[in-house]
A and B are shown apart, each in its own frame.
Chain A
Amino acid sequence: MYSQALNTRDTSTDSSPEAIRFQARIDDEQRIEPNDWMPEAYRRTLIRQISQHAHSEIVGMLPEGNWITRAPSLRRKAALLAKVQDEGGHGLYLYSAAETLGVAREDLEDQLLSGRAKYSSIFNYPTLSWADIGTIGWLVDGAAIMNQIPLCRCSYGPYARAMIRVCREESFHQRQGYEIVLTLCRGTTEQKAMAQDALDRWWWPCLMMFGPPDTDSLHSDTSMRWKIKRFSNDGLRQKFVDATVPQGHFLGLTFPDPELRFDETEGHWQFGAIDWDEFRAVLSGNGPCNRERLEARRKAHDDGAWVREAALAHAAKQRKTA
């Protein structure tokens, strides 16, 4: 909505009066709004981050959508349908926030469909059993909540407001997931084994969701200074592990990490080394489902083309006869 008067060039350096005023506003916890002056790099960073976040929500609908028609009861089906619809909504809130920075929705979509844009590595893993749906809600949405709560205070107003809306909806996602896993764990031996198998497969990819370790995370410093980010990747990962391990033990499940142990002095759960080669492979397009996910998005986009065209033609005709 505000994109008409956006700054297009960045003639200033970090020491320009505008840049100094900008940083002072951020230090003062003020929100930056679409029409305000901002460094070009701040705008670029946000466009990249918000659109990647939006793409993740949209692609994230696919692994769970896979089980909607096979949900074991009407209650589970209604809940899963509502959850997947929420994720679509999250994607749309976020595209809407990104557009206030002066990018067109069509360009963002194009970046995703052409494979140039990144999205969260986690959605390139397959959902092999119903237990995966419970585990995704519990762990993937749980990790997303850890990531998203600090973003509600992000310095960029439209992003922060979108995140507040998202966070309000996420809690249902995590609870419905945990309930599914709990039901399986209280069920037959086979059902409990399904839950354990899902945890075994999803645990490490979930830890990777927080991104590379702080020692080699590229953009962190500037993002922290701009208050786009408020906690480090490793900090959030630790918070997630500390919150999740007791929940898993309550279920009677075992985490697939022989090194996992509680450090009394630190008050934290210590975990083993993460396989960062796997993370990089998935991120660069070689995960188990990367190709399938993009193909599904492209097919949906192409199959919907005639609907978009017809709607525009109808609108044009209505304007003419009005």
Chain B
Amino acid sequence: MNTPLWEVFVRTRNGLAHKHAGSVHAADATMALQAARDVYTRRGEGLSLWVVPSNAIVASDPADRDMLFEPTGSKIYRHPTFYEVPDEVGHM
């Protein structure tokens, strides 16, 4: 049997969310965390690690990109610059 594949996410010290770093092979979650520590955080890059079985991730299909993301293109009223505020009012 092949050793399962895990995706690794690292939360760095700058306060941002966990970010995908790569993957590791490991028999179980404990070993996956240890491998992720050794492979992706050798220089204090992270303050927290997530490992997720790769086959548990559901990804959107690039072929659906337009259907999924195109509709927001016309919704410019979702951005602050759509609205007019007189200069006299100052920064808002």
Partner of A1, one of B3, B5, B42, B43: B5
State whether A1 touches B28 (Cβ < 8 A): no
Residues 71-126 of A contacting B (Cβ, < 8 Å) = 82, 85-86, 89, 92-93, 96-97, 99, 104-106
Contacts of A308 in B (CB 8 A): 3, 27
Cα of A33 to Cα of B23 in the assembled complex, Å:
16
CA distance A314 to B3 in the complex (A): 12
A85 to B35, CA, bound (A): 13
Tell me if A36 counts as interface (CB < 8 A to partner B).
yes
The answer to whether A92 touches B62 (Cβ under 8 A) is no
Chain A binding surface SS class: helix
The CA of A4 and the CA of B57, in the complex, are separated in Å by: 10
B5 — which chain A residues lie within 8 A by C-beta? 1, 99, 105
The tally of CB-CB contacts under 8 A between chains A and B is: 58
0 or 1 for each of B50-64: is its CB under 8 Å from A? (1 = yes): 000011010101100
Q: Sort chain B's interface into a size bin.
A: 20 to 34
Assembly CA distance A92 to B54 (angstroms) = 16
A93/B39 in contact, CB under 8 A: yes
Contact between A106 and B39 (Cβ–Cβ < 8 Å)?
no
Give the residues in chain A near B7, CB-CB below 8 Å: 1
Q: Do A1 and B2 contact each other (CB < 8 Å), given the known contacts A85-B42, A89-B42, A96-B24?
A: no
Shortest beta-carbon distance from B65 to chain A in Å: 9
User: Does the CB pair B28–A311 fall under 8 Å?
Assistant: yes
A271 at interface, CB cutoff 8 A = no
Do A92 and B61 have beta carbons less than 8 Å apart?
no
**A152 → B minimal CB distance (Å):** 15
Whether A1 contacts B54 in the complex (CB less than 8 A), given A37-B62, A312-B1, comes out as yes
A sample of 25 inter-chain contacts (CB < 8 A) reads A1-B54, A4-B55, A33-B62, A35-B59, A35-B61, A35-B62, A37-B62, A86-B42, A89-B42, A92-B22, A93-B22, A96-B24, A104-B2, A105-B2, A105-B3, A169-B43, A308-B3, A308-B27, A311-B26, A311-B27, A312-B1, A312-B27, A314-B28, A315-B27, A315-B28
A-B interface, 9 closest residue pairs, ranked by CB to CB distance from nearest: A311-B27, A315-B28, A315-B27, A96-B22, A96-B23, A1-B54, A312-B27, A36-B62, A35-B62
